[in-house]
A and B are shown apart, each in its own frame.
Chain A
Amino acid sequence: MRNILAIASKELKSYFSSPIGWILLGFWSLLYGYFFVAILNFFVRQSMQMSQFGQAGPQAMNVNQQLLRPLIAQNLPILVLFLLPAVTMRTYSEERRSGTIELLLTSPLTDFQIIMGKFLGAMALYGVMLAVTLIHVGLLFIYGRPEWKPIVTVYLGLFLLGGCFISVGLFISSLTKNQIVAFVATFATFLMLWVITWIGSFSGPTVDRLTQYLSIIGHFDDFGKGVLDTTHLIYYVSFITFGLFLTAKSVDSERWRG
């Protein structure tokens, strides 16, 4: 455990001692802030229109339904899709390119410790990114009365979704010395898993069910609605485990191939 934490903290520090961590965090905040303002404006305009028509319709505007859901459950995953490959692209590629992998692999560490350290380090950066978005959510609590339970589930979902990206990103990074290759391949893999349901609708019920199950974003919807379903939890946890397993196999085979 001590070794895992040593590597995780080294990984987290390395994001912030190079520009990559700051650039990621900067653009993430910028884009998220833009989404927030845009959706908030839309929300404010709608609620003013409703009040102009006298008393509101059958139900009043709901902050969770009309502001937080489009913002966090629909727009944030897209940001994750575009930016998280940049978090993992360097994890193994950079170590292999600079030769520091020799230090790690000849230190008294197991492959599992190295992989978990890297995974947790990347997750920590992702955690920092998610923490930034909580500032805006906090503002909503000051000026309104959103429900907190769906917010908790959507953040849990985001965390698991990011975990999938990071575990597979680690695997892809372990296959190449080139960070750009790692970025593109990770991005493409996830875009594919994102849109995999598109062929399901016209390819018969079995394929449809299969693609529904594989769709990385299909499992996210319920978290966004505030529903906690073990099916989705199991899907994400096994996805992450599988990604880490592939990474372990890749690192091991790399040793044999030299």
Chain B
Amino acid sequence: MIEVQHLTKRYGRVTAVDDVSFRVERGEILGFLGPNGAGKTTTMRILTGYMPATDGKAIVAGFDVFDQPIEAKRRTGYLPETPPLYPDMSVIEYLEFVAKIKGVPSNERASRIKQVMQRTRIDDMAGRQCAKLSKGYRQRVGLAQAILHNPDVLILDEPTAGLDPKQIIETRELIKELAGDHTIILSTHILPEVSQTCQRVVIINKGRVVAVDTPDNLTARLRGSETMYVQVDARGADAAGVLGQVPGVTRVAESDRRDGVVGYEIDSETGRDVRRDLARAVVSSGFGLLELRPIRISLEEIFLSLTTDETAAASKEETAVLEEVPDA
């Protein structure tokens, strides 16, 4: 549905987007993740035809955004970082204007607007002036504007920025709901958002793509082996020896100790679940098992490792350093 090939954008001597390529399939939600200034907005602006790229190609819904911009734009809905509202217009006037310029046929306009307002839950604000809307409503009117002409592709630049927690959840639900008949790219620098809404993630930093994968795979890929955290009440005895003898365990390291209660971090071979054996070993030795849980590398850590030093993160040795960070 969306295909980006070797996209590059330079502003004078600054390269904002550097040889970015990725694909998004129909009905998929792609998360565009990166720190501020990574080139997310620039990439989105190129995809929506707001600005041309210096080099490369972008195909949206089967149309090249440079060669057939009008056709591509007809099939794209875009919510910029700041919702593009006219402060003097009322919500309904605004949506009517947008419907006109997006080419919604005049006999469908009224019903389409009504439908979209219900969907984004702004129908109670129809007569309100855009300037007087709260941030949450502005964002939702912006979203209503983007889906008004029922586009194949939706491009949302930080759709949940500035919303309160309840609105964030509502917006995420709405986005997931829309994914059925729209292909969606959303950018964000909030990580839980990606793991909760997106099927695939593109991590971008300093204009370059550093990773493209599903949130789960990204987590797994960076975690060379499985790590468990085990807390044992050994009453002064050394539990490390017992734990080290469990089949599959490759490393045991003490991580904390308080009043005879010791916490260990235990690495095991990938793909082998050692939890049962660990529990049995602790209990049969007569120790008290207080806690046993897997340590997952959160997306935050992946993100930080990929974006702070991408070359380091790519090499396997460095990922070990990551694993010593306690569970977030």
Co-assembled chains A and B: yes
The docked-state distance in angstroms from the alpha carbon of A221 to that of B16 is 54
Taking CB atoms and an 8 Å cut-off, the chain B residues in 94-148 that contact chain A are: 97-98, 100-103, 145
Is B50 in contact with chain A by the CB < 8 A criterion? yes
Q: List 24 A-B contacts (CB under 8 A).
A: A3-B100, A6-B97, A13-B93, A98-B82, A98-B87, A99-B80, A99-B82, A99-B84, A101-B84, A102-B45, A102-B50, A103-B80, A105-B49, A105-B50, A106-B49, A106-B76, A106-B78, A107-B102, A108-B71, A108-B73, A108-B74, A255-B50, A258-B11, A258-B51
Question: In the assembled complex, which residues on chain B have CB atoms less than 8 Å from the CB atom of A258?
Answer: 9, 11, 16, 42, 45, 51
Is A2 in contact with chain B by the CB < 8 A criterion? yes
Taking CB atoms and an 8 Å cut-off, the chain A residues in 123-174 that contact chain B are: none
Is A237 in contact with chain B by the CB < 8 A criterion? no
- A2, A17, A103: most-surrounded residue (chain B CB, <10 A): A103
The docked-state distance in angstroms from the alpha carbon of A102 to that of B93 is 18
The docked-state distance in angstroms from the alpha carbon of A85 to that of B48 is 33
Minimum CB–CB distance for B105 against chain A, Å: 11
Is A14 in contact with chain B by the CB < 8 A criterion? yes
Q: Could you list which residues of chain A lie within 8 angstroms of chain B, going by C-beta atoms?
A: 2-3, 6-7, 10, 13-14, 17-18, 98-110, 255-258
Q: A6-B97, A100-B86 are in contact. Are A107 and B73 (CB under 8 A)?
A: yes
Question: In the assembled complex, which residues on chain B have CB atoms less than 8 Å from the CB atom of A99?
Answer: 80-82, 84
Please report the number of residue pairs spanning A and B whose Cβ atoms sit closer than 8 angstroms: 76
Minimum CB–CB distance for B30 against chain A, Å: 18
The docked-state distance in angstroms from the alpha carbon of A101 to that of B102 is 14
Q: A106-B76, A108-B73, A110-B70 are in contact. Are A255 and B51 (CB under 8 A)?
A: yes
Contacting pair A103 B84 (CB below 8 A): yes
Is B52 in contact with chain A by the CB < 8 A criterion? yes
Question: In the assembled complex, which residues on chain B have CB atoms less than 8 Å from the CB atom of A106?
Answer: 48-50, 73, 76, 78
The docked-state distance in angstroms from the alpha carbon of A98 to that of B82 is 8
Question: In the assembled complex, which residues on chain B have CB atoms less than 8 Å from the CB atom of A256?
Answer: 51-52
Output the nearest chain A residue to B88 by Cβ-Cβ distance.
A17
Q: A17-B89, A99-B80, A257-B11 are in contact. Are A108 and B145 (CB under 8 A)?
A: no
Output the nearest chain A residue to B78 by Cβ-Cβ distance.
A106
Of A6, A7, A102, which one neighbours B78 at CB under 8 angstroms?
A: A102
The docked-state distance in angstroms from the alpha carbon of A257 to that of B16 is 12
Question: In the assembled complex, which residues on chain B have CB atoms less than 8 Å from the CB atom of A6?
Answer: 97, 100-101
